[in-house]
Amino acid sequence: MLSQLHLIRAFEEKVLDLAGQGLVHGPAHSAIGQEGGAVGSAMAMRASDQVNGSHRAHHQFLAKALAYVAPEGIDPEKSFGETLRHLSKRTLSEILGLAEGFCKGRGGSMHLRWANSGNLGTNAIVGGGVPMAAGAAWAHKRADTGDVVYTYFGDGAVNIGSVLETMNVAAAWKLPICFFIENNRYAVSTHVEEVTAETRLSARGLAFGIPALRVDGMDTLSVYLAAEEANATMRRGDGPVVIEVDVYRYFHQNGALPGSAFGYRSKEEEQEWRGRDPLDAMARDLMERQIIGAQAVEDLRTRCQEMMEEIADELVEEADGQRRIVPALWPEESFRDFGLRGDLSEFEGARFEEQESFSGTLKDNVKFIDAVADVMMRRMEADERVVVLGEDVHRLKGGTNGATKGLSDRFPERCLGTPISENAFTGIAGGMAADGRVRPVIEFMYPDFMWVAADQVFNQIGKARHMFGGDSAMPVVLRTKVAMGTGYGSQHSMDPAGIFATAPGWRIVAPSTPFDYVGLMNAALHCEDPVLVLEHVDLYASKGAASAEDLDYMIPLGKAKTVRTGGSVTILTYLVMVEKTRQVVERLGVDAEIIDLRSLDRAGLDWETVEASVEKTGNVLIVEQGAAGTSYGGWLADDLQRRCFDALDQPVKRVHGAEASPSISKVLEAAACASLQDIEAALREVMADQGLPLAAE
C-alpha cells in the first residue's frame, strides 16, 4: 500500500509539473491527497474485478493497474523494475496525448482505459460512467464468476440523475457493483453543503435499499477493510454496496494551485487536511509496527520521484530554449478518424441475401411486426449473448407493439423489463456490450426518448470506440419506431435519423420490408459497432414477402436497394416513404428511379449506387417524413451537391415535414408531416424545371 501511495503521488506531481510547463494539452485533474481511497479499495480486489471512474481518476487507474501488474505487492525497499516503469510511462504518455498511451493519445487525462487490468475507462462526464459500470456488473452476475465492479465518483456526481437511476436498477437487479463516493467536499468550488440537505452522501444508498459504509479515506487501511466487507456482500450475490470515503484534494479542480488561491477554501482548512496526509499516515502505522524505518520511507519517495523524472525526460526535450514534447511521439495525423467505427471485418464469410435472388422459400403477406419478433426469437435461440432490455418488453405480449412477442416466456433471464430510466438502462447496455460477453438490444418505446438518454447514447456509446483508441468494440443495437401519425404529439413523434447521422460512431439501418428487416437486424446484431435500427409504426401492420424458414441471412450494411428503375429523376428515401413515393410516382407516370437507402449513416451510405443513378438521371429528390429542423436530408443534400455537382442538372430538391413537431390535433399533425401531396408537388417541380413530361398527363 505504501509503495502504491508513493508511486501515485509522484506520478501526479509530475503531471502537475508538466502542466505548469504548458506540456499537458487540456486539463490536469490531480487527485493528490485522495490516494488512500483508490489504493485501499484496489488492493482488496481480484485481478478480474473491474473499475471505472470520472475525470479525476489517475489515482484509481494506477491503483488498479499497479495491483494487476504486481499481484504479489510492491516492496518499498527494492527496485521497481521495468514493468512498473513501463506502466507509468504508458499512463503519462496517454495524459500527454501520445501514441504510446493506452488509448493511443485519444483519451488523455480524462479517458483512461486498459481493459486487461480491469480498467473499463474513465469519463469526463460527471456520473456518466456509472451506468456503464452497472452493465459490466450485470455481465459478471450472469457469468456467475463472483467478480465485482467499482465505479468511482465524487460528491458532485451524487446528485446526477444517471447515478441515482443506476443505483435503483442495481439494487432491483442485485448487481455486484460498489458505488464508491470520494467526498472531497467541493464540486469545483461549490461546497457540498450548498447543494444538498443530506451531506451524508452514503445515505443515498439507503433510499434504494443498498447497504452503505462511510470511512475515513485518508486512512488507507480503513478503506481496505471497508472494501473487503463490501466485496463479501457483493460476491455472496446480495447486490450493490455504497462506500463513501472522506478525502480531500489538495489542489484546485485543475492545475497546481490550491483552492485557497481562488478564494473558496481557507488556508487553515487546507493545512488541517494536509496534516492527515494518507502517505504520512501509512508510514506512521508501518513505523509504529517496526515494519519499515523513516529512511526507507524517504528513499522510497526519492526513487518514485527519480523514476518519474526519468520517464518525463524520455517524453520531453529542449528545443530553441523551450521544453516541448518529442515530436516523434505524437500520433500521426492520419490516425484522426481511425476506429470511429470498425472496419466490418467481422462480416468476412457472412451469407448475404436479397429478396430478388433469394433461393429459399418465400411466403407472402407476412406482417412486418411478425418479422421483427421472429428474427429476435431466432437470434436469441442461436446466440446466448443476445439480451433484450427496455420498458415493458417482457409484458403485454411483446411490448407495446408486439416486437418482443414470446421472448420473456422463452428467455426470462434475457428479456429484461426496465424501470422508466432510459439514461440508466441505455448506459447499462453500453457496459454489457463493452464487456464483450453480451450483445444487448435496447428498445426505446419512442425515439424522442433518446434526449433523456442523450449522454449515454452519444457521449458514451457512440464515442467509446474512438475515444479509447479505436480497438474496443461496442456491439449495441438500439431499436426504436417512428410514430408520426399516431396522435402522440410533439414528444413522441420524431424521426431521429438526422440526429444520429450527424453524431459520430453510430451506424443506422432503416428496413422498409419484412425481408429486409430480417437481413438488416441480423447484420446489426453481428456488427461490432453500435447500430440504430429504425422502424416505423405504419410499417408494423403492413405485409410483404418474407422467408418461410430461413432467419439467418444478412443484408450488407452500406448497401442501398434500387426498388424502381428510371431515367428522369433519382429519388432517395427510406422507411415508410419508400412505398408512399412509389405510389405517387406510378400514379403520375414519372420515369423515376427510387432508391431505398436502407443504411443511413455517413460510413454506410451506398454512394456507388447513388452516384451511378445521379449520373444517369441528372436530377435528385430526397424524400423523408420528419421535421425540417432535425432533417436527415439536409446533410445528405449537401454531400450530394459536392460529390455530384457536375452530373446535376438542377439543385437537389427535398421533401420533408414542417419546422414544427407534429401535434395532437389530427389536422395539425398531418400538416406537420410530409404527405403524398408534398411528394407529388416536388416531383412536378423537378420535372417542370427540366421540361420533362408526366406520362399521366
Give the three-class secondary structure for 692: coil
Q: Which residues contact 638 (CB under 8 A, 6 or more apart)?
A: none
Angle of CA points 553, 407, 574, to nearest 5°:
50
> Residue 670: CB partners within 8 Å, gap ≥ 6?
485
Closest CA to 65 of 25, 8, 106: 8
Q: How many CB atoms lie within 10 A of CB 548?
A: 11
* C-alpha closest to that of 664 among 538, 494, 542, 485: 485
For residue 75, report the phi and psi dihedrals to the nearest 5 degrees. Answer: -70, 120
- Alpha carbons 498 and 99: distance in angstroms, whole number: 34
Residue 558 makes CB contacts below 8 A (sequence gap 6+) with 344, 599, 603, 604, 605, 606
- Our answer to whether residue 492 is catalytic in this structure is yes
Q: Name the burial class of residue 362, with classes exposed (0-12), middle (13-18) and buried (19+) by CB atoms within 10 angstroms of its CB.
A: middle
The amino acid present at 199, given as its one-letter code, is T
Contact between 224 and 215 under an 8 Å Cβ cutoff? The reply is no
Neighbours of 459 (CB within 10 A): 17
Mapping DSSP to helix (H, G, I), strand (E, B) and coil, where does residue 306 land?
helix
Which whole-number Å values give the CA distances from 269 to 190, 215, 259, 487, 548, in the listed order?
15, 20, 10, 59, 74
Q: Counting every residue, how long is the chain?
A: 697
**227 and 39 Cβ atoms separated by less than 8 Å:** no
What end-to-end distance do the CA atoms of the chain give, in Å? 86
Q: What is the DSSP string of 272-293?
A: HHHTT-HHHHHHHHHHHTTSS-
SS3 143: helix
**Calpha distance 297→299 (Å, rounded):** 5
DSSP state of 673: S
User: HEC profile for 599-664?
Assistant: ECCCCCCCHHHHHHHHHHHCCEEEECCCCCCCCCHHHHHHHHHHHCHHHCCCCCEEECCCCCCCCC
Residue 1 · residue 225 · CB < 8 Å: no
The answer to whether the beta carbons of residues 557 and 527 sit under 8 Å apart is yes
C-alpha 615: how far from chain center:
39
Pick the catalytic residue from 252, 466, 492, 536: 492
What letter would DSSP give residue 549?
Answer: S
Burial of 225 (0-12, 13-18, 19+ CB in 10 A): middle
- 421-437 burial: b if 16+ Cβ within 10 Å, else e: bbbbbbbbbbbbbbbee
- The residues annotated as belonging to the active site are 492
